[in-house]
């Protein structure tokens, strides 16, 4: 167990739907990062939050949004889902320059 | 532009053979570099970071600023080393990690 918890582990939904992915960072970590991993694009940085505030944005679509709550857990909301959104979504947290600790990911399948 | 390049998508070696996974970076500052390993699409695990100069599972990596490289090496590959390996650069305005596209290492018996 890395200390970063992601739920659900698997999600199957239909096109056009909306889903919420949840991430609880490692205890004491203030930064949360979301990444999308697909077979053709590799690991793409989506967004970073630090202590509740958005810090950096990567290749995140307008249909996607995220937030970090006062208890530091984060949610990634994906709406108007398309087949191409099927991917593994990873959350990571960090505290210092040591590097990130990743969660086990949520595997999203859009049918 | 900040970029990480892993030129090999797939590297296949026999057990006991030496392994070198290549990583080149582009960064206009003092880089922080990492190697992550991912077994069978599970979570990414930190393998090495250049500032600690440690050896994990027999792997080492040396930062070469002149060649802008951070290649991962192991003298004798084991079957359990088969995995995806990602090189990452801590860049961006807020220090987010920029990943290369990864190299799949396959160690044959």
Q: SS3 for A26?
A: coil
Q: How high is the pLDDT of residue B38? A: 93
pLDDT tens per residue, range B84-105: 999 999 876 667 888 999 999 9
User: Which helix (H) or strand (E) is A13 found in, with range?
Assistant: strand A10-13
Return the exposure string of A42-65: e unless at least 16 CB atoms fall within 10 Å of the residue's CB, then b. bbebbbbbbeeeebbebebeeebe
The distance of A54 to chain B (nearest Cα, Å) reads 10
Give the separation between CA B49 and CA B52, rounded to whole angstroms. 6
| B51–chain A Cβ distance below 8 A for any pair | yes
pLDDT tens per residue, range B56-93: 889 999 889 899 999 999 999 999 999 999 999 987 66
Give the separation between CA A62 and CA A66, rounded to whole angstroms. 11
Q: Which residues of A touch B42 (CB under 8 A)?
A: 104-105
Interacting residues of B13 by C-beta distance below 8 A, sequence separation 6+: B19, B77, B105, B106, B107, B108
Strand partners for A95 = none
Query: Is the model more confident about B107 or about B52?
Result: B107
Phi, psi of A56, deg, nearest 5:
-155, 145
Chain A residue with CA closest to B101: the answer is A42
pLDDT tens per residue, range A7-53: 999 999 999 999 999 999 999 899 999 999 987 778 899 999 999 99
Question: What does the mean pLDDT of chain B come to?
Answer: 90
């Amino acid at each position: 167990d890395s200390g970063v918890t992601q739920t659900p582990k698997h999600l199957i939904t239909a096109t056009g739907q909306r889903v919420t992915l949840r991430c609880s960072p490692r205890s004491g970590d203030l930064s949360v990062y979301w990444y999308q991993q697909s077979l053709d694009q590799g690991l793409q940085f989506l967004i970073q939050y630090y202590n509740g505030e958005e810090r950096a944005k990567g290749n995140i679509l307008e249909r996607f949004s995220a937030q970090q709550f006062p208890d530091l857990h984060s949610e990634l909301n994906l709406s108007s889902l398309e087949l191409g959104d099927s991917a593994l979504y990873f959350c990571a947290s960090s505290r210092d320059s040591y590097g990130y600790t990743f969660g086990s990911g949520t595997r999203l399948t859009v049918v | 532009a900040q970029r990480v390049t892993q030129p090999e998508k797939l590297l296949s070696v026999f057990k006991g053979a030496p392994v070198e996974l290549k990583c080149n970076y582009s960064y206009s500052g003092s880089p922080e570099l990492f190697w992550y390993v991912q077994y069978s699409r599970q979570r990414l695990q930190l393998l090495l970071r250049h500032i600690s100069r440690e050896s994990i599972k027999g792997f080492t990596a040396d930062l070469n600023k002149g060649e802008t490289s951070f290649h991962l090496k192991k003298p004798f590959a084991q079957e359990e080393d088969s995995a995806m390996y990602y090189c990452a650069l801590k860049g961006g305005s807020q220090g987010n990690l920029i990943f290369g596209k990864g190299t799949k290492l396959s160690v044959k018996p």
